[in-house]
Amino acid sequence: MEESDSEKTTEKENLGPRMDPPLGEPEGSLGWVLPNTAMKKKVLLMGKSGSGKTSMRSIIFANYIARDTRRLGATIDVEHSHVRFLGNLVLNLWDCGGQDTFMENYFTSQRDNIFRNVEVLIYVFDVESRELEKDMHYYQSCLEAILQNSPDAKIFCLVHKMDLVQEDQRDLIFKEREEDLRRLSRPLECSCFRTSIWDETLYKAWSSIVYQLIPNVQQLEMNLRNFAEIIEADEVLLFERATFLCKEQRDAHRFEKISNIIKQFKLSCSKLAASFQSMEVRNSNFAAFIDIFTSNTYVMVVMSDPSIPSAATLINIRNARKHFEKLERVDGPKQCLLMR
């Protein structure tokens, strides 16, 4: 999407300096209450200290890293990020491995607490790590805990920092690791991705993960196509609300770029104690609208007929919103249960 000589307009809501605006649930059931982690479903982001989890989280969720990521010690406690994404999921960061015996005890005593109610486990491996045996050992102990406490959880393995490997060797090394991890994970099934924060692979991996968690995704897509035809739009896309992850895999460069642009804009808005709600980008050739859609998603509508007034498109989007909310609600209030 070229942005040459275009104007950007936004509508601001003064909601305070949060990255993630409260969900627009019309029935207002829960409001903005501090989540009780014992009850909410979790996404566990685990890995060795220094494998890149904090940077990853900061980049995906547009969180400002307030301190030096080169910590001298491992994280003692689990980091609650209070990032709500996909409705009621809370992201927890935990450093796994590399601690002394004191930490080991703490880990084992808190284990049940940590691994209960886990929706998704994302385990990060540093491709440059020299202690492969140890890494696998910690991974396996996490898997055991998962098997005991949350056997339904989905497992994803990210082989991270791939930019440090020479380009012609990347596929080979990744395949090796993938085979090893698959083998070690049995009887659980894990999906592996190779990632690096310096290209679009991180975005792609997280998009795949997150979109496996959206309920009714097929039905959503069919309805979106209909919607696009009705309003005569060139393109209609869904982005996840907190992270702007998009399901489309074909043009990952483009969507990662859009996501980065919007997240950067969100950060700028938050510095003014405003939160980002919607955006319209218009030029003589096209008009694009990015707006809140359902409780979990943003929508981007691209119209190549600039003669259609913005108001018309915005009304269409607003009307469609109700329909799509209903679609998401099929399973009731706990809308993020996985469909099995």
Long-range contacts for 51-55 (Cβ within 8 Å, ≥24 apart)? Answer: 51/124, 51/125, 51/126, 51/129, 51/160, 51/161, 52/124, 52/126, 52/160, 52/161, 52/197, 53/93, 53/95, 53/124, 54/93, 55/197
Given 20, 200, 240, 328, the residue binding other proteins (CB under 8 A): 200
CB of 64 to other proteins, least distance (A): 6
If one asks whether residue 29 binds other proteins (CB under 8 A), the answer comes out as no
Q: Which is nearer to other proteins, 52 or 87 (CB)?
A: 52
Q: Which is nearer to other proteins, 226 or 264 (CB)?
A: 264
Compute how many other C-beta atoms are within 10 angstroms of the C-beta atom of residue 294. 26
CA 340 vs CA 154, 213, 336: distances in Å: 11, 11, 12
What are the beta bridge partners of residue 46?
94, 123
CB of 248 to other proteins, least distance (A): 15
Distance from C-alpha of 159 to C-alpha of 279, rounded to nearest angstrom: 35
Q: Which is nearer to other proteins, 67 or 183 (CB)?
A: 67
If one asks whether residue 95 binds other proteins (CB under 8 A), the answer comes out as no
Given 15, 136, 197, 338, the residue binding other proteins (CB under 8 A): 197
Q: Which is nearer to other proteins, 20 or 256 (CB)?
A: 256
Q: Which is nearer to other proteins, 15 or 261 (CB)?
A: 261
**Is 272 within 8 Å of 16 (Cβ atoms)?**
no
**Is 339 within 8 Å of 216 (Cβ atoms)?**
yes
Task: Return the range that interacts with other proteins (CB under 8 A); candidates 54-62, 87-95, 145-153, 208-216.
Answer: 54-62
Half-sphere exposure of 194 (CA within 13 A, CB side): 19
Q: Which is nearer to other proteins, 207 or 316 (CB)?
A: 207
CB of 60 to other proteins, least distance (A): 11
Binding mask 123-142 for other proteins (x = CB under 8 A): --------------------
Q: Which is nearer to other proteins, 65 or 315 (CB)?
A: 65
Query: Number of helices and strands (H, E) in the chain?
Result: 8, 11
Task: Return the range that interacts with other proteins (CB under 8 A); candidates 12-20, 23-31, 197-205, 277-285.
Answer: 197-205
E strands in 1-77: 7-13, 42-47
Given 58, 141, 208, 216, the residue binding other proteins (CB under 8 A): 58
What single DSSP character describes residue 261?
Answer: H
Could you list the residues that contact other proteins (CB under 8 A)?
Answer: 3-5, 55, 58-59, 62-65, 68-70, 163-168, 197-200, 253-254, 256-257, 260-261, 263-264, 267-268
